[in-house]
Structure 1
Amino acid sequence: MPELPEVQTIVNDLQILTGDTITGFWTNFTKAIKSDDFEEKIKGQKIAGVKRLGKNIVIELANDTFIVAHLKMTGKLLLSNQKLITSNQKIQTKHLHHVFSLQKNGALEFHDIRKFATLELADKKRLSEIESGKGINPLSKEFTLKKFTELIEVRKNKSIKSFLMDQTAISGIGNIYASEIPYDAKLNPIRKLQTLSETERKSLFKSTLKILVKAISKRGTSFSDYRDAKGKKGEFQNYLKVYKKAGKSCAKCATIIEKNVIEQRSTFHCPTCQQ
């Protein structure tokens, strides 16, 4: 599933759509659309902006409604030069399920292999409801060491890994970065938050920002399905230190990287570097 760096990369790519107008909409999978009269309500609307909300992509329309797209496991939003969908294209592009035709920028295509991704048209109240269930945005100015410490204080019984993946605490971090961040901070992801010293908390905070920012700069992590809005793979998979490297040697100390399961999620760490 695309995590914060992948979603932010797509959002950055989609800034080109600001000021454009949606001229049409095509779909062959209405089950993914969680709002009634979706096409009718978005057609002719000008795009006021594009932003990220957790792992959601939010396209703001000029009439104060918001297209909320969640990519789930295998969703992809791709910019395309082709405005109209032909029968031939539908045959050739097996996993293309939705297309937003645009006045200036061709089209925005929504592909999804497993068909778990969703679209929703939300008003301000509904968007606020979605936002209220999410934790702090770690890329925001509100994400300070003080706030980070407060979040830890009310979740002391959680492990580091569980805390980082808790979407009600910090929004957007998934399994990849919840393994890479503790490695960078030299902390065992299994450790309980209550065991962390002040110095270790500060290190975890700094590593959270460092790894997320670096992953965005490398345009995300691509193992199989993730692509940016231009259809290209990310590069951060080339910089991973522990994720999916169980049985391989740690790049720092040559100790064999171990794999554990925390809350039914695979977790990777170096038993020597991470204490």
Structure 2
Amino acid sequence: MKVVLFCGGQGQRLLDADTGRAFTPKRASDAPKPLHMVGGKPILWHLMKWYATYGHTDFILCVGFRGEFVRNWVGDLCAEHLDEPTALPGVPRRHLLDGEAAGWSITIVDSGISTPVGQRLRAVRNLVGAEDLFLANYADGLSDVSLPQLIDEAHRSEAVATLLAVRPPETIHTVAFRPDSTAINEIAPMAEQELWINAGFFVLRPTVFDLIHPGEDLVDAPFSRLARAGRLGGYRYRGFWRAMDTAKDRLILDELWSSGVRPWAIWEDPARGQFVPWRPQV
């Protein structure tokens, strides 16, 4: 199953992260968001390794800001590779033949510097349009959710788009006021409320392209149309998930890796890492 990863973000809220552990010797702000480091490797590597452990090794990287950094990183993944043409002229599909990423296939598509995610997805329509289902990800978060279960939910529901829904990990509190008053009726941790957020892990059907209009992002308008039509699915998950939106998030993930508490690193646990690639259930 093809995996589309959105790798064009600038990660502006990460600019105060320490620069000594950035992807290159240059400033951290020079690297696109998916190349900021967790445990000495880009978060993009962690995510691709997670998908690959489940048997999904055909990656499409939608690059934008500092896309050459992503290209250089992919070039360093292996010494031997084979390229083949794709449906996009001048855009090859690279098969990696050696190293820890042996068996992966990577297609890199320049989708624009400040392009909304919906338009980045539109840019690769010809590469995934023939799939029954394909996967997509914001490429800035990690989770230990069972990917086969997420895919099975999307397959059973016949939703055009299915997203991973998680509880917000923030420690901030929500406040409820009494009607027509400045008196507070309730204050409680947001994580304890019946509130779910989009985690950025998607299972999509090609018909989603018919819902994305020129200039639109992926979620706001297209997903609202799907929701109104009853064709937007959600997989509720209460396990581990963390996005790398801020320098604090990055430090939390880095500290988890250093401590050995790595819920997303399923490839390190033989009991969890031997997965059969997903097949539709009949």
Q: Do both proteins adopt the same fold according to a TM-score greater than 0.5, normalized to the shorter chain?
A: no
Question: Comparing both structures, which one devotes a greater share of its residues to strand?
Answer: 2
TM-score range, shorter chain: under 0.3
Structure with the bigger RCO (C-alpha within 8 Å, sep 6+) is 2
TM-score when normalising by structure 1:
0.24
